[in-house]
């Protein structure tokens, strides 16, 4: 059961990471119009990411623009996710919680900033939550494995204690 949970987490993590990369090349949204009436071209996920970086320069340092600067941190967390989850497997569930909180913030914030969200955005959000779920699965599998090993050692100690008491 533990190995199956870990393998499912690893497969989910790989699929989420590939989905994140694909989302950068798919249509994500239209650029911010700031009241212009002209139809605007659709931006890819990467172009939307770059626009979010420039948002504070365009609209000033409003709270919404400052929250948009969180996009690089969210992308860095998800891009580094596989390496971080495997390196910090004992803390993978905590890493998944951090990614999940950041993904929730992005899912709440982006519809407030952008009007026309496309498939790239939804794949991006989905990949964030899938990385978080994979981190939970991998972290829980390691915790369960340690718990089973602890239970085996405890059972062995009880056998030894019972043998010593009978002697």
Instruction: Kindly tell me if the per-residue pLDDT of 35 is higher than 60.
Output: no
Six-digit token pair at 19? 């989905």
pLDDT of residue 30: 79
Sign (positive or negative) of CA dihedral 149, 84, 96, 127: negative
Q: Could you read off the pLDDT of 51-74 as tens digits, one per residue?
A: 777 776 766 666 666 666 777 888
| pLDDT tens by residue, 95-120 | 999 999 989 988 888 887 777 889 99
**Which is higher by pLDDT, 147 or 98?**
98
Could you tell me which residues come within 8 angstroms of residue 130 by beta carbon, excluding any fewer than 6 positions away?
12, 13, 15, 16, 19
Q: How many residues does the chain have?
A: 167
């Amino acid at each position: 059961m533990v190995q199956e949970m870990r393998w499912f987490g690893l497969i989910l993590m790989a699929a989420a990471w590939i989905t994140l990369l694909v989302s950068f090349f798919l249509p994500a949204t239209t650029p911010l119009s700031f009241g212009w009436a002209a139809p605007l071209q659709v931006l890819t996920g990467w172009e939307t990411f770059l626009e979010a970086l420039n948002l504070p320069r365009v609209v000033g340092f409003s709270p919404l623009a400052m929250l948009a600067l969180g996009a690089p941190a969210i992308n860095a967390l998800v891009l580094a996710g596989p390496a971080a989850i495997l390196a910090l497997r004992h803390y993978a569930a905590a890493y998944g919680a951090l990614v999940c909180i950041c993904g929730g913030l992005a899912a709440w914030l982006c519809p407030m900033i952008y009007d026309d969200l496309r498939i790239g955005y939804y794949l991006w959000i989905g990949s964030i939550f899938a990385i978080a779920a994979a981190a939970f699965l991998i972290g829980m599998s390691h915790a369960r494995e340690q718990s089973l090993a602890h239970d085996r050692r405890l059972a062995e100690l009880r056998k030894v204690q019972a043998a010593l008491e009978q002697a």
